[in-house]
């Protein structure tokens, strides 16, 4: 079985705007580098290394983590999961909303990249 994603909502435009404002000095680093402990920790254990450096500090500690939400997935809702775990969650006809978030454990930058609905194909 393969997970099928649909209803994607991209947040790339908001990300670019935020970074443009930061690099122009219009937004303070403390305002955008505010990842909570649980998000940073989840990115270390459940995330994948990003193919690019952190857009704020340039660190190679930028990771991409998947967070799942939805009534149909029970206690798993609101947690970080791997693609394989998401596959198991939706295999019985359930669906979940998956948020793809980038997180830098060095400077605490974090941004929602996209949200999409996962179902079994």
> What are the pLDDT digits (tens) for 52-88?
999 999 999 999 999 999 999 999 999 999 999 999 9
Separation in Å, CA 30 to CA 24, 35, 57, 108, 118: 15, 10, 12, 9, 33
In the chain, the number of structural domains is 1
CA neighbor of 56 nearest in space, from 29, 85, 76, 24: 29
Mean pLDDT, residues 90-112 taken together: 95
Range of the domain at 64: 3-120
Its pTM surpasses 0.85 = yes
């Amino acid at each position: 079985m393969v997970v099928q994603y649909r209803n994607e909502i991209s947040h790339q435009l908001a990300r670019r705007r935020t970074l443009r404002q930061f690099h122009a000095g219009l937004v303070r680093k403390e305002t955008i580098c505010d990842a909570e402990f649980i998000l940073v920790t989840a990115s270390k254990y459940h995330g994948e290394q990003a193919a690019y450096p952190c857009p704020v500090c340039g660190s190679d500690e930028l990771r991409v983590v998947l967070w799942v939400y939805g009534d149909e997935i029970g206690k798993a809702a609101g947690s970080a999961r791997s693609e394989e775990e998401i596959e198991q969650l939706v295999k019985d006809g359930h669906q979940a909303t998956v948020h793809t978030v980038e997180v830098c454990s060095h400077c605490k930058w974090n941004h929602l990249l996209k949200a999409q609905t996962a179902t079994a194909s």
